[in-house]
Amino acid sequence: MSDVLLEVSELTMRFGGLLAVDQVAFQVKRDEVFAIIGPNGAGKTTVFNCVGGFYKPSSGNIMMDGRPISGLPSHKVAQQGLVRTFQNVRLFKNLTVLENLLVAQHTRIQTGLLPGLLKLPSYRKSEDDALQRAGEWLDFMGIREYANREAGNLAYGHQRRLEIARCMITKPRLLMLDEPAAGLNPQEKRELQQLIDQLRREFDVAVLLIEHDMSLVMGVSDRIMVMENGRPITTGLPAEVRVDPRVIKAYLGEE
Ligand SMILES: Nc1ncnc2c1ncn2[C@@H]1O[C@H](COP(=O)(O)OP(=O)(O)OP(=O)(O)O)[C@@H](O)[C@H]1O
């Protein structure tokens, strides 16, 4: 088995005349935390949207565990074990916290329509399992006391944790986090870093991360790709990227 989980090659995305992503290539290994950083407008979100099936790339290849996924819609991409969170948390805000976790498992419960309508034992068993898994994730994220609260009424930090739980409950192999530290206070950011470490260790999940918070990126990533103007300018270990003159120039601009 190859140690590469996600392989992106020659990924290009044009919006009209604008080349937002230009021949981008990178690999994410199993159990790796891989971050994409770069100044505003560098193309990070566009890469994410292409990988996650939200945009159809203009050209290029995206392989998940050796299978092509480029151009597939997001629900098909999710079936390959690749799920994501959003820059602005997206939950079913009028459903309860628990209901959000039950809905997320819907695609995995495959008992069919008839057993569901007749409430056959196979259906009840899968419902019980879904409830139990939801309970486990509520405990894991420390949000069980809010199980019956509307998701939209949770504190922002808890909404983020719920959104990550909603991804993890589908047992992904690659978790994509789009600016997960945005809007969090310093304590919540530290907890997020611990959470990402723990998810990777305990659930064999690789993480693809876009983040502007450098302390989180440097603390949690195994490797970092830096983008500027739609292109990667370097990929390396946090300690290498931090001191790379091209990276410093991309962030600070020319003197
Ligand atoms: N749907 C779209 N239609 C047209 N242009 C777009 C679209 N999405 C992104 N762009 C453009 O593509 C370029 C790359 O944007 P992108 O959002 O991927 O950058 P980013 O690195 O994620 O930036 P940020 O850090 O600000 O989120 C920008 O010039 C942006 O204006």
Cα(156) to centroid(ligand 1), Å: 25
- Ligand 1 in contact with 172 (CB < 6 A)? no
Residues 161 and 179 in one domain: no
Residues 107, 69 within the same domain:
no
125 within a domain of the structure (yes/no): yes
Q: How confident is the model at residue 120 (pLDDT cuts 50, 70, 90)?
A: low
Q: Whose CA is nearest to atom 3 of ligand 1?
A: 15
Token pair in block for residue 248: 């410093």
- Is 220 inside any structural domain? yes
Asked whether residue 193 falls in the same domain as residue 134, the answer is no
Count of domains for the chain: 2
Residue ranges making up the domain that contains 118: 93-166
The band of 127, judged by pLDDT with boundaries at 50, 70 and 90, is confident
Residues 75 and 193 in one domain: yes
What pLDDT, on the 0 to 100 scale, is given for residue 113?
58
Span from the CA of 8 to the centroid of ligand 1 (angstroms)? 19
- Look at residue 178 and tell me whether its pLDDT is greater than 70: yes
Q: Is 44 in the pocket of ligand 1 (CB under 6 A)?
A: yes
- Find out whether the beta carbon of 56 lies less than 6 Å from any atom of ligand 1: no
Q: Check pocket membership of 62 for ligand 1, CB cut-off 6 A.
A: no
pTM for this entry = 0.90
> From the CA of 217, how far away is ligand 1's center (Å)?
20
- Atom number, ligand 1, closest to the C-alpha of residue 212: 25
Residue that finishes a domain, picked among 139, 166, 193: 166
- ipTM of the modeled complex: 0.94
Residue nearest to atom 29 of ligand 1 (CA): 41
Q: Is 16 left (phi over 0), alpha (psi -120 to 50) or beta?
A: left
Same domain, 73 and 144: no
Q: Supply the CATH number for residue 249's domain.
A: 3.40.50.300
Question: Other CB atoms closer than 10 Å to residue 31's CB: what's the count?
Answer: 16
Atom of ligand 1 nearest to the CA of 21: 14
- What SS3 class is residue 73? coil
| Res. 255 pLDDT band, cuts 50 70 90 | very low
Q: What is the mean pLDDT of the chain?
A: 90
Is 107 a member of any domain? yes
- Among residues 1, 190, 208, 192, which one has the least CA distance to residue 84? 208
Q: Which residue among 101, 134, 166 closes a domain?
A: 166
Distances (CA, A) of 35 to 208, 219, 224, 239: 6, 11, 5, 13
Compute the distance from residue 9 Cα to the ligand 1 centre, in Å. Answer: 19
Which stretch of 36-45, 82-91, 123-132, 186-195 has the lowest confidence by average pLDDT? 123-132
Residue 18 lies inside a defined structural domain of this protein: yes
> What tokens does 152 get?
């939209």
* Confidence band of 116 (pLDDT split at 50, 70, 90): low
